[in-house]
Structure 1
Amino acid sequence: MQIMACWPSIKKFLNLLFGHELKDDEHRNYLLVVATLIAAVTFQAGVNPPGGVWQDGVKAGRAIYASDETAFFVFLLCNTLALSSSTLLILSLTWGFPFFLEVVVATASMLMTYGASIFAIAPRDTKTVKFRYLLSIAAAPVLMRVVILICKYVKSKL
């Protein structure tokens, strides 16, 4: 019963988080195309890392690029940030549209597939510590959006 009582406030928060004011549908379409292209490119780069993967030996299936651990980690951080930002933009631009639930399921599945792929190609010895950073960076766009909304709310009350 308590969940039903707080539903209007949750819905209002989600509208604030995903809602936007665009001048017309043309702007929304442009942004949606750009966000989709960024999501596709970053997903592909995560699933098939630059340089490919080792084909045989002890490192089979691991990213060749991971032999330079720092550069590979920077690549993963930037790629993950781009993917999560574009995914948030896609969800924001399709909010309230028919088949929005399907868009959410598809994007969530894509993000889980990306995470599984990164986990599979990363060197075994760096997974546990560095994956915490990747999860944090993946959440950054949503957290930044929430902070912006809080700042706007506080500013409107002053």
Structure 2
Amino acid sequence: MAVARKNWNSYFEFDEENETPTEIRNILLIIFTLIAAVTFQAGVNPPGGVWQDDDRGRIPGTAIYASQKNFYYLFLIANTLAFSYAILVILSLVHKFPFHYELWVATMSMAITYVSAIFAVTPREAVKFRFVLITLVVPFIIRLVIHAFNVCCRKFSSTD
């Protein structure tokens, strides 16, 4: 007789009856804080490290990985997108928390630090920085467009 095996994924699925929104928010805060920390660190300390001396015309303090321009550019865009989405989710989850304005200031300061750090370690010829900056704001623009669409839909449906 065969024993019925449970799907192990079911143990980790969201359970509305046993889990509260507060628990879920706390879990999401932990997850997205970890994502923000890892992506921040990867931007400040790029894979492979930075050049230590000016041997062969290399600028000390710039990313070694930047010598592989396409791969480094892909890394920088993906890392910046993950960092930006993590910040967006964190700021959304702490909305109306005590000191949420202070959290906004601290989080935006961290984003500015991230941008200045990647500018410092990336050789100018390796990356088109306007695309990196656009990547940083894309999640916020998408969220604003979704919010505006929802507001318009609610207004349109309430007039019917």
Q: What stretches of structure 2 of length at least 5 have no aligned partner? A: 1-19
Map of 1:18-37 to 2, 5 A cutoff?
24-37=21-34
In the alignment, the residues of structure 2 paired with residue 44 and residue 149 of structure 1 have an alpha-carbon distance, to the nearest angstrom, of 31
Structure-2 residue corresponding to 1:55 = 52
Map of 1:128-147 to 2, 5 A cutoff?
130-147=128-145
In the alignment, the residues of structure 1 paired with residue 22 and residue 29 of structure 2 have an alpha-carbon distance, to the nearest angstrom, of 10
**In the TM superposition, what is the alpha-carbon distance from 1:102 to its structure 2 partner?**
1.9
The share of aligned pairs that are identical, in percent, is 51
Q: Please tell me whether Structure 1 or Structure 2 has the larger radius of gyration of its CA atoms.
A: 2
Instruction: Work out whether 1:114 is the aligned partner of 2:111.
Output: no
In the alignment, the residues of structure 2 paired with residue 124 and residue 60 of structure 1 have an alpha-carbon distance, to the nearest angstrom, of 13
Map of 1:37-76 to 2, 5 A cutoff?
37-57=34-54, 58-76=58-76
In the alignment, the residues of structure 2 paired with residue 124 and residue 137 of structure 1 have an alpha-carbon distance, to the nearest angstrom, of 17
Q: What stretches of structure 1 of length at least 5 have no aligned partner? A: 1-22
TM-score norm. by structure 1 comes to: 0.80
**In the TM superposition, what is the alpha-carbon distance from 1:33 to its structure 2 partner?**
0.6
**In the TM superposition, what is the alpha-carbon distance from 1:110 to its structure 2 partner?**
0.8
1:147 is matched by which residue type in structure 2? V
**In the TM superposition, what is the alpha-carbon distance from 1:109 to its structure 2 partner?**
1.2
Higher relative contact order (CA 8 A, sep 6+): 1
**In the TM superposition, what is the alpha-carbon distance from 1:100 to its structure 2 partner?**
1.0
In the alignment, the residues of structure 2 paired with residue 101 and residue 148 of structure 1 have an alpha-carbon distance, to the nearest angstrom, of 23
The number of residue pairs the alignment matches comes to: 135
The CA RMSD over aligned residues, in Å, is 1.6
Cα deviation digits, residues 30-52 of structure 1 (max 9, x gap) = 11111100000000000000000
Runs of 4+ in 1 over 3 A off after TM superposition: none
